[in-house]
Amino acid sequence: MISRRQFVSAALALGGAYAIGPRISQAKPSEGFLVLKAEEFDYSLAPQELPNSPFWFYNRQTPGPEIRVRKGETVKVRFINQLPEPTSIHWHGIRIDNAMDGVSGLTQQAVAPGDSFDYEFVAPDAGTYWYHAHNKSWNEVARGLYGALIVDELEPTFERANEITLVVDDWRVDREGNLDLASLGALMDWSHGGRLGNILTVNGQFQTKIEVKPGQNYRLRLINASNARILHFDPARIGALVLAYDGQALSVPATFGDTPLFLGPAQRADLLMTPSLGKDFELEEVSTERAFPIVQFAVVGEATSNSAAPRLMPNRLPEPNLGTARQFRLDMTGGAMGNFVETTYNSKVLRDGDFRTTGQVWAFNGIANLAKSPFFAVERGESVTVDIINNTAFAHAMHVHGHHFKIVERVDSDIDEGQPWRDTFLSVPGETTRIAFVADNPGKWLLHCHMLEHAAAGMNTWFEVT
C-alpha cells in the first residue's frame, strides 16, 4: 500500500483520482418532514490513505441524503443548523416558490446556529436537480454541504435499479492529506479561476466499481458539485447518449460531437448507457492530456435483450417571445488580467486597496455584489432576453434562479450547447451570449456566477418579477 504522503503527492500532481460509486441514502418525505441537519463531521475521502478531516455535511454523509419525489409532489424538509455560522439551503434548478429559494439576504434570513427552518415546495418538473448551502457558499459547499434532488417522471422510464446518481466534486487537500481549510477565502482563488481542488471524487469517495448488467439501459445522472472546476466528459467513449441537460429532457436522445461535454459547476447531464457483455469500462474525465477514470463499471451477469432507447417526456416550459421580449445587457468585468471598470460596492466606488480589503474584484455593469435596486424588474409573464458579455480572462458558469432559459445566440464562442433548456450556462472569455426566458415566477431572483468564489467576489445581481 502506498503511503499517505505518496498518495497525496500523486493526487496533487495529477489533479484527479479514481472515484467511488453511489453511497447516497434514499429519503422520500412522503409523511411529515425529512430532517436535514448540517453539522461538522470527521471524515476521510480515502480511508486507507488520507486522515480524517473536519467536514461539514448534511446528516453526516456526503453527498447529503438523496431526496426523491415524483413530479408534482411536495418536498418537505426541516433544516436544522448545528454549524458555527449561519446558513441556508438553495434548491438548485427547481422553479420554486420564491420564499423557499434559500438565498440568504434576498429570499430569507440565514438560519442561525441552533435554529431551524422548514422548506416546503412543489417540484413542478421531472429531472436531475440538487441542493446546497447558500450563505458563504464558497466556504460551506467546499466543506461538503450539498446533495441530490431527483424528481421522477409520473411514468418511470427506467427501472429504479438502473438509475445511477453520480455527484462529482473536487476537494483541496494539503500535503498531509487534510482538507485545506487555511486556503478558504484566498484572494488568489477569488480573482482567478476559483477554488480548484486536487482530489476528484464521486459521491464522496475513491476507488470502487459499480456493477451493471449487459444489454440493459442505464440512466447516469451527473451532477457537478465543484466550487469552480469545469469537468470534461466524452459520452462517446462509453457509447452513451445525452438524455437531458440541467434536469430538462431532450425530446430525442442525442449523440455528442467531437468536442467534450463541458459540465460547469452546478450543471447536470443525464446520460443513457447500455453496457455490452464482457466489456468492463470507465467513465473518464478528459480535461487533461491523460484521461482520468472517475468510475469503473464492471459488467456482470448474462446478456439480456436490449430494448429501444428510452425517451424522456420533456417538461412543459413557456417559450419566450423574442419579438416582444424586454432586452437587457449584463457586462462582466474584473478579475486577474481582466478588464477593470469603475466599480461600486455597497454604494461606494472602490479605490486602489479597497479591492483587496473587500475582496470585491469582479463586477456586473460596474456593480460588485447585490445592489439595493434590481438589475431589472418585469411583470409576470413578460419575455426577457439578457445579453451577457464576458469581458474577463476567465470562464464563468452563469446561473439564473427560479427559471430555465434558452441560449438563443452566442458570439465568438467555440462552445455550442445547442438549444436545450438550461438553468446554468458556461461563458468563455470574449463571448457574448443571449439567453431568453419567460419571467413567469414572481419574486426576487438571483443571477450569478456559480464559480462560488467569483460570486462572493462580486458576480451577484438580482432581478424582480412583479
| In a domain? residue 190 | no
pTM beyond 0.75: yes
CB 59 within 8 A of CB 37: yes
Please, is 221 exposed, middle or buried when counting C-beta atoms within 10 Å of its C-beta (0-12, 13-18, 19+)? Answer: buried
Residue 445: band (very low, low, confident or very high) from pLDDT cuts 50, 70, 90: very high
| In a domain? residue 151 | yes
Residue 181: band (very low, low, confident or very high) from pLDDT cuts 50, 70, 90: very high
| In a domain? residue 407 | yes
- Number of folded domains that form the chain: 2
| In a domain? residue 316 | no
Select from 155, 188, 210 the last residue of a domain.
Answer: 155
Euclidean distance between CA atoms 382 and 155, whole angstroms: 32
Euclidean distance between CA atoms 118 and 377, whole angstroms: 28
| In a domain? residue 16 | no
Asked if pLDDT for residue 411 goes beyond 80, the answer is no
Contacts of residue 285, defined as CB under 8 A and 6 or more positions apart, other chains included, come to: 16, 168, 200, 231, 232, 233, 291, 292, 294
Select from 155, 185, 214 the last residue of a domain.
Answer: 155
| In a domain? residue 361 | yes
How many helical (H) and strand (E) elements, i.e. helices and strands, does the chain have? 5, 33
The pLDDT tens digits for 313-356 are 999 999 999 999 999 999 999 999 887 889 999 999 999 889 99
Select from 110, 125, 155 the last residue of a domain.
Answer: 155
- According to DSSP, the residues that pair with 345 across neighbouring strands are 348
Residue 415: band (very low, low, confident or very high) from pLDDT cuts 50, 70, 90: very low
Structural domain for 147, as ranges: 22-155
Residue 129: band (very low, low, confident or very high) from pLDDT cuts 50, 70, 90: very high
Contacts of residue 194, defined as CB under 8 A and 6 or more positions apart, other chains included, come to: 227, 228, 229, 265, 451, 452, 453, 454
Between 466 and 12, the higher pLDDT residue: 466
If phi over 0 gives left and psi between -120 and 50 gives alpha, with beta otherwise, what is residue 72?
left
| In a domain? residue 358 | yes
Residue 413: band (very low, low, confident or very high) from pLDDT cuts 50, 70, 90: low
Q: Whose grid coordinates read 476567465?
A: 394
| In a domain? residue 82 | yes
- What is the CATH number for 362? 2.60.40.420
